[in-house]
């Protein structure tokens, strides 16, 4: 645990008692603050009280008269589409609103660091797609290089559940827009921006607000190095804002669309080959085509971003390349779960929006595509140019028929995962890929994309007779 610093003796309200909220309350107490907790869910309050935490209704009149700060869990809106009533009350009372990420950056450095030979560092990764894989890959490379490291944030542990940093340690954080938009302190040493595509638009009041939430990671604290995917105009703009000139190598530009040139620092992938250029000269190259855990151009983008971040930490290209080949990938992200009778079964349940599904489709050919679910704002037009490798779609979800009508490929309305997998398995031929890439949220049928992916894997196992664990 990382005890919260700077709030000793203060009453601090904590709204939301899920993983991050409970961790924040514990860390506040460990640092000498007095957490005052609330969650509308009575079971969540009971769990907190069982740990000895104090709960009080933060909606009550005068609740914020003695409060120094309000800590809000990521899923609770503070501005759009409308502030949560507790957040509104705090704002009206003039109480600063923060989250666990802000507390982490406020508290990470300690006086113990004065005796360290190598200062601990933080690598923070954000973006629309690929941030989990990029974060996990950076962490894997560091482990392979035998560097002390921890992984947290939107993946794995809560940030305040981390252990205090040791000499030379690197903490890798995956940060969502919900986390970056509110944190009062954001001071990573290396910040990574993978890409940007429409997502969470209601929460951020459109693309401008969504990009602004991501941009805060780079604008608030000024990282020593910024790794920026420049294949969208927002990334290109962000790189330009951060750079002092063409040769400024504090900004590492990343692309999978084109070769990058110039006197600065670039990492790009073309036709499966990663190249690093610095000051106009090639500094490294890796053949990604044989890296089983990173299939497709979207994973090559993740590889480029992770490579750039690790190079900025001083790791050699050959060390990074060796680590790539031992990376197994993440569950529910282009995850091969079986290969039977010449048919490959791939779980990409994390492809919850159109852009991520399009990238998954681009990674394979001869696709039996299982898709559908809770459609996100913006429709499915972005899939129109990505379905050339699809032989047939098998559509799930409560609105499967309406979803299927928007597709430009042969589509069968299946409704449930059980039916979709059975039909895809029955029709698949050697050389085909049965791919779950929903292009939609899961909440019409599942409580998370993980549960959806697990159901897919279980149904495949039952149909083709392989072990599922």
* Cα–Cα dist 394/463, whole Å: 16
Structure tokens at 104: 């982490």
Q: How many CB atoms lie within 10 A of CB 288?
A: 21
Structure tokens at 94: 């003039």
Binding site: what residues are annotated?
Answer: 127-133
CA 193 to chain centre: 11
* Cα–Cα dist 14/355, whole Å: 35
Binding site for ATP: what residues are annotated?
Answer: 127-133
Distances in whole angstroms, Cα of residue 103 to Cα of each of 4, 53, 80, 179, 215: 6, 18, 23, 12, 19
- Euclidean distance between the first and the last CA atom of the chain, given in angstroms as a whole number: 31
SS3 state at 103: helix
* Cα–Cα dist 224/206, whole Å: 30
Residue 294: closest CA among 254, 338, 268, 324: 324
Element of type H or E holding 24 = helix 19-30
Residue 216 sits at the vertex; the CA angle it makes with 171 and 211, to the nearest 5 degrees, is 115
Give the dihedral sign, CA 39/45/55/101.
negative
Element of type H or E holding 15 = strand 11-15
Q: Counting runs of H as helices and runs of E as strands, what totals does the chain give? A: 15, 20
């Amino acid at each position: 645990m990382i005890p919260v610093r700077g709030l000793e003796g203060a009453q601090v309200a904590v709204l939301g008692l899920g993983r991050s909220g409970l961790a924040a309350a514990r860390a506040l107490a460990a640092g000498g603050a007095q957490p005052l907790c609330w969650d509308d869910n009575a079971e969540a309050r009971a769990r907190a009280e069982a740990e000895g935490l104090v709960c009080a209704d933060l909606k009550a009149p005068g609740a914020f008269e003695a409060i120094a700060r309000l800590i809000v869990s990521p899923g609770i809106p503070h501005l759009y589409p409308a502030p949560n009533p507790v957040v509104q009350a705090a704002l009206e009372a003039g109480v600063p609103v923060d989250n666990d990420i802000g507390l982490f950056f406020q508290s990470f450095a300690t006086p113990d660091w004065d005796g360290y030979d190598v200062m601990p560092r933080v690598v923070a990764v954000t973006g629309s797609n690929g941030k989990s894989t990029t974060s996990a890959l950076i962490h894997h490379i560091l482990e392979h290089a035998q560097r002390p490291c921890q992984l947290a944030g939107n993946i794995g542990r809560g940030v305040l559940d981390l252990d205090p940093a040791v000499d030379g340690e690197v903490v890798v954080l995956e940060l969502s827009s919900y986390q970056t938009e509110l944190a009062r302190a954001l001071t990573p040493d290396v910040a990574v921006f993978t890409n940007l595509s429409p997502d969470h638009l209601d929460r951020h009041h459109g693309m401008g607000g969504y990009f602004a939430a991501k941009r805060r990671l780079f604008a608030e604290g000024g990282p020593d190095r910024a790794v920026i995917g420049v294949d969208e105009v927002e990334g290109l703009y962000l790189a330009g804002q951060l750079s002092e000139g063409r040769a400024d190598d504090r900004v590492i530009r990343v692309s999978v669309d084109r070769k990058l040139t110039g006197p600065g620092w670039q990492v790009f992938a073309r036709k499966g080959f990663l190249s690093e250029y610095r000051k106009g000269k090639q500094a490294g190259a890796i053949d990604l085509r044989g890296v089983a855990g990173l299939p497709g151009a979207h994973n090559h983008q993740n590889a480029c971003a992770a490579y750039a971040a690790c190079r900025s930490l001083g790791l050699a290209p050959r060390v990074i390349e060796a680590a790539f080949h031992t990376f197994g990938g993440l569950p529910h992200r282009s995850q091969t779960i079986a290969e039977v009778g010449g048919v490959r079964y791939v779980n990409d349940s994390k492809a919850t929006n159109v852009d991520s599904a399009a990238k998954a489709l681009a990674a394979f050919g001869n696709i039996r595509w299982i898709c559908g679910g809770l459609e996100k704002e913006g429709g499915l037009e972005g899939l129109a140019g990505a379905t050339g490798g699809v032989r047939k779609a098998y559509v799930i979800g409560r609105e499967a028929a309406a979803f299927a009508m928007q597709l430009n490929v042969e589509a069968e309305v299946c409704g449930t995962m059980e039916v979709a997998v059975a039909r895809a398995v029955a029709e698949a031929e050697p050389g085909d890929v049965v791919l779950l890439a929903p292009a939609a949220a899961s909440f019409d049928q599942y409580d998370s994309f993980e549960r959806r992916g697990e159901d897919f894997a279980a149904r495949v196992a039952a149909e083709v007779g392989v072990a599922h664990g």
